A and B are shown apart, each in its own frame.
Chain A
Amino acid sequence: MSTLTKVLIVLLTVFSIFLCGIVVTYVANATNQRERADGLQRQLRSAQASEQDALADLEQQKTEAEQLKADLNEQISQLKVAMSEVQAQLDQVKRDNALKEQEVANQTAAAQLANQTAAKQTELFESAHQNVEQLRGEQTKLSSRLAETDQLLMEKMSIIAQLQEKNRQLVESNQELESRINRVLQQYGRAAAPPQPVTRQRAVAEPATPKPITKDLGLTGKITVVDAKNRLAQISIGTAAGIKQDMKLHIIRGEQFVADIMILDADADKAVGILDLVQLQPKVGDTVTTNL
């Protein structure tokens, strides 16, 4: 065996031992890739499960978000409607406020005007009160003068009454004297002339006589007796009812005019008259009335 062979054997042995040591060390310290792969696989599955859960959660969150969004949109729309209503109410309140302010201004102006009017009326009242006081003073003066005038008038009226009494006595004495003169002058076929007043009579203005106020008597009676030959008739009412002589009444039969009757004589409960303007022959029982 050569030396080279020996050297090679030794070197082969040494390197074999060295290489085997390295291999054993490496294999002993090498990581178990299967366990690692299994771990990674489990991690992958758990990650995928987590992803699924996350996606489900995401979908649920999206759904909830959509629902929440819809709810919020509905609330927003409701709030918009409410806001529009509130805005409308605010506008209405603003308009009412403006109207109220206008009314307050008008009331203030009216109050000022009323105050001015009251002040003017107070002034007028004071002036009128002063005028009333003056008029009362004048009335007092006029009352005293009126009392004096009344007293003078009573005195004048008493004087006039005395003068009238004297005048009446003078007239009676004048008539007596005139009758005596006439008796004396009748023996001679004469009569005394009417006396002429010494003083001229003055025309005195007299008040116009008022027209007599007439009224309907409303007397109604019946024809009791008819004397067609002498055109006389008797009626059932007399002076007790207001019938007087020369009174003219109408005889009617229903709605028809018969004749007129002029009273010639009247008793207490009956009267007799002459017929006039005879249109129909009067009968007993026809109505007699003063007014048609």
Chain B
Amino acid sequence: MSPLPQSRGGKISPPSNLYTAVLAVAFGVVLATAAFVTFKCYTQYGTIFSLP
């Protein structure tokens, strides 16, 4: 994605968004997991970070 290797004279390849999508999926999964854990903590203990 960076244009620097191309300037060195290497093989030029077209930019791909596949790995960006994979990273987005991974981020979404982590975010959903965090939201689920937060929901469970709040519903069960009434607080998120402190001890009940």
Contacts and interface: CB of A to CB of B under 8 A. Distances in A.
Interface of A: 1, 5-6, 9-10, 12-13, 16-17, 20, 23-24, 27-28, 30, 32-35
A51 B44 CA distance: 31
Contact of A20 (B1, B32, B52): B32
B33 A20 contact: yes
B22 A13 contact: yes
29 contacts: A1-B16, A1-B19, A5-B19, A6-B19, A9-B19, A9-B22, A9-B23, A10-B19, A10-B22, A12-B23, A13-B23, A13-B25, A13-B26, A13-B29, A16-B26, A16-B29, A17-B25, A17-B29, A23-B37, A24-B33, A24-B36, A24-B37, A27-B36, A27-B37, A28-B36, A28-B40, A32-B44, A34-B52, A35-B44
Contacts of A9: 19, 22-23
Nearest to A6: B19
Interface residues of B, number: 18
A205 to B, nearest CB: 167
Interface string B23-45: 10110011011001100100011
Contacts of B22: 9-10, 13
Nearest to A30: B40
A106 B32 CA distance: 123
Contacts of B37: 23-24, 27
A30 B30 CA distance: 19
Contacts of A10: 19, 22
B11 to A, nearest CB: 12
- Mostly, the A contact residues are helix
Given A13-B22, A13-B25, 4 more contacts: A5-B19, A9-B23, A27-B40, A33-B45
A32 B52 CA distance: 12
Given A1-B1, A24-B36, A27-B40, A34 B45 contact: yes
Contacts of A12: 23, 26
Nearest to A17: B29
Contacts of B25: 13, 17
A264 B6 CA distance: 231
A261 B33 CA distance: 187
Contacts of B36: 24, 27-28
A-B pairs, top 5 by smallest CB distance, nearest first, are A20-B33, A13-B26, A16-B26, A9-B19, A13-B22
Contacts of B30: 16, 20
Contacts of B29: 13, 16-17, 20
Contacts of B32: 20
Contacts of B40: 27-28, 30
Contacts of A28: 36, 40
A6 B13 CA distance: 14
Contact of B44 (A13, A16, A20, A34): A34
Nearest to A23: B33
A195 to B, nearest CB: 191
A9 B23 CA distance: 7
